[in-house]
A and B are shown apart, each in its own frame.
Chain A
Amino acid sequence: MIETLLTNYEEAAAVILFGIGFTTLLFQRNLIKKLIGMNIMDTGTFLFLASMGYIRDRKAPIITDGITDVSAYINPVPAGLVLTGIVVSVSVTAIMLSLSVRLYRRYHTLDLDDIYILSKHQTEDR
């Protein structure tokens, strides 16, 4: 068990990071900390993908010295997926930050529980 974890230490670290991020996103009350958690969670997934996509002693998939043998290069797709994932993660973070700003302007706190209690007292019923 331990041995398997040690040989796959990158994947193990990635899953631990994912867990840390996930619980932070779920249980932290502060919005900014939640966002940090989300980014840690996504980074964990990217690390997992990147480490799985890399094969030791192989080169980046750019043909050099005329070697066209597939076994000389790594698969470029995981790297592409990581890039796409990063773009998605950045845009989601941007939207969430702008929402946090809007909430802070209105309620003057970033604590979600406090905001929830404050919003209960509002009379915006329709």
Chain B
Amino acid sequence: MDFIWNFPLFTIVLSLFSGVLCMVLKRRTARTYTMIFELILICMTGAVLFYTIRMDGSFTYPMGEFPAPWGNEIRAGILESMIALLFLIVMFCSVLSGRKFLELDIDESKQNLYYTLINLMTAALMAMTWTNDIFTGYVFLEILTLTSCGLLIVREIGRTTLAAVRYMIMNLLGSGLFLLGVVLLYDVTGHLLMVPMHEEISVLASDPAAMTVINMAIGILTIGLSIKSGLFPFHYWMPDTYGWATPTSGSVLSALVSKCYIFLLIKIYLRVVGLPIFAGMPIRNILLVLGMCGIVMGSVSALHADNINRMVAFSSAAQIGYIYMGIGLATEAGFTAAVFQIMAHAVTKSMLFLTTPRLAAVSGDSLKFRNLQGSALRDRSAGVSFCIGAFSMIGIPIFAGFSAKLQFATAAVYSGSSVKLVLVMLVLAISSLLNALYFIRTIIRIYSPAEDEEQRWPVRGRINYNIPMAVLTAANLMLGLFSWVIADLIERGFASFV
């Protein structure tokens, strides 16, 4: 066992420890500590990624060295490391760039507690990404829910509290269903670790009575996680939640938290159920249809929004729909596209959510479209960032969004069903058109000068905004330009999954 095998565990345990530590640190110290700590985590996860790519496989770390059916395990493969690395980078960028608004939105004496929440959330994200045990997944899923609620209510206005309550209620429904699904699966298989569970399910697959229960358990669990990640028709809490939170929270919640639930779901589908059995389950078609409805309805709602944050939030609902559509195709290409979309959306949406408050800040603190006229001219770096994010969302080549859409189209071609092919192509076309409509309209709006433009000085982007944006843009371009490298890595990750 190499020393590097400990790194995934370190990312979880050290984050938990840092959360406690930040409670007793002063505001500035907590901030500096968290930033440095996130950088260390990024280095560790990067090392794990290189290690797994070099060994072209995965390693399983038994906690307390208890052998497989009993102990708790952490598993690190190419896919997990990649997702963890991306989550950490986005988390780092969000915290760094939302700092200015954090200081405005939160009482000075409580700011160190915000970093406590950020660290606890990092621990939960890492644990859900690395874990090989489905019940550990449940426990950290609840921790993720609680910390995301905390990130929402730090901005103490009535609307965030209401949004947090609604968010929590939806999440509690989701957690309850997920727990019931896990319990049913445990009853049928007698295991909580993913690998023994999968072996048991492979044996039970020939028994129709057992398959009924497994189908039901997976169905319940899927509904739970899709409520939590905001799949259509459960997406209506998104605009309020993301729109009123402080920018860092909005970015983290939309880019990371909802993606983490979906990643757990993908792990359950591929590692517990297995692709051949999943491809015969009725739930896949439901996911496909709901995903497509989500894409169209999310885009239509975004078109009607009068506030830029609501528009971006509704577009999140559409992007979540893409991911579920990829899962619903139930092929390896579909899952690859879904994971690629998770990554593309994480880097793009965090960028947009961190940019809109800056545009609002130079427009009399208003997010309404009519007040945003000319805001990109007043804050040029925010304007550029918004354009990059918007281009990626629309699906303009060289950006991540384009590669994601291309992969969905390719996956649909290889799905072997002409109905699915036509539907997916149609939905992709409609959604690209709608995306282009509302994003280009916004870009024109923020770049056309307001009447009294000469009197205002352009705001220069600060370095703690420009650096994260540069990092996210670089990640976006890398996903766009080298999509085949990333897709190849994802496929290699899947190959070592079972």
**Band of interface residues on A:** 35 or more
Residues of the A chain whose Cβ atoms lie less than 8 Å from the Cβ of B175: 92
- Whether B168 lies near A96 (C-beta < 8 A) is yes
Docked complex: A91-108 residues within 8 A CB-CB of B: 91-92, 95-96, 99-100, 102-103, 106-107
Tell whether B159 is near chain A: CB-to-CB under 8 Å. Answer: yes
Decide: A126 near B357, CB < 8 A? Known: A25-B172, A38-B176, A92-B172: yes
Tell whether A81 is near chain B: CB-to-CB under 8 Å. Answer: yes
- Whether A103 lies near B161 (C-beta < 8 A) is yes
Tell whether A16 is near chain B: CB-to-CB under 8 Å. Answer: no
- Whether B192 lies near A77 (C-beta < 8 A) is yes
Number of A-B residue pairs having CB atoms within 8 Å of each other in the complex: 91
Decide: A126 near B176, CB < 8 A? Known: A81-B135, A103-B162: no
Contact string, A111-123, partner B, CB cutoff 8 A, digits 1/0?
0100110110010
Residues of the A chain whose Cβ atoms lie less than 8 Å from the Cβ of B159: 119, 122, 124
Least Cβ–Cβ distance between B231 and chain A, in angstroms: 16
Stretch in contact with the other chain, from B267-275, B364-372, B453-461: B364-372
Least Cβ–Cβ distance between A9 and chain B, in angstroms: 16
Query: A92–B365 Cα gap in the complex (Å)?
Result: 34
Query: A21–B161 Cα gap in the complex (Å)?
Result: 23
- Whether B139 lies near A84 (C-beta < 8 A) is yes
Tell whether A125 is near chain B: CB-to-CB under 8 Å. Answer: yes
Tell whether A6 is near chain B: CB-to-CB under 8 Å. Answer: no
- Whether A106 lies near B158 (C-beta < 8 A) is yes
Docked complex: A1-53 residues within 8 A CB-CB of B: 18, 21-22, 25-26, 31, 34, 38, 41-42, 45, 48-49, 52
Q: Which residue of B lies closest to A77 (CB)?
A: B192
Residues of the A chain whose Cβ atoms lie less than 8 Å from the Cβ of B403: none
Q: Which residue of B lies closest to A38 (CB)?
A: B172
Query: A78–B179 Cα gap in the complex (Å)?
Result: 13
Number of interface residues of B (CB under 8 A): 35
Query: A103–B158 Cα gap in the complex (Å)?
Result: 7
Tell whether A85 is near chain B: CB-to-CB under 8 Å. Answer: yes
Q: Which residue of A lies closest to B368 (CB)?
A: A125
Contact string, B344-374, partner A, CB cutoff 8 A, digits 1/0?
0000000000000100100001111000000
Residues of the B chain whose Cβ atoms lie less than 8 Å from the Cβ of A125: 365-368
Contact of B135 among A25, A84, A103 (CB under 8 A): A84
Q: Which residue of A lies closest to B135 (CB)?
A: A81
Tell whether B183 is near chain A: CB-to-CB under 8 Å. Answer: yes
Binding site for B on A (CB under 8 A): 18, 21-22, 25-26, 31, 34, 38, 41-42, 45, 48-49, 52, 77-78, 81, 84-85, 88, 91-92, 95-96, 99-100, 102-103, 106-107, 112, 115-116, 118-119, 122, 124-126
Query: Could you name 12 residue pairs across A and B whose Cβ atoms are closer than 8 Å?
Result: A18-B180, A25-B169, A31-B165, A38-B176, A45-B176, A45-B179, A78-B186, A84-B139, A106-B158, A119-B159, A122-B159, A126-B367
Binding site for A on B (CB under 8 A): 135, 139, 142, 145-146, 149-150, 153, 157-159, 161-162, 164-166, 168-169, 172-173, 175-177, 179-180, 183, 186-187, 192, 357, 360, 365-368
Q: A92-B145, A103-B161, A103-B162 are in contact. List 18 more A-B contacts (CB 8 A).
A: A25-B176, A26-B173, A38-B176, A41-B176, A81-B186, A84-B139, A92-B146, A95-B150, A95-B168, A99-B165, A100-B165, A106-B161, A119-B162, A122-B158, A124-B158, A124-B159, A125-B365, A125-B368
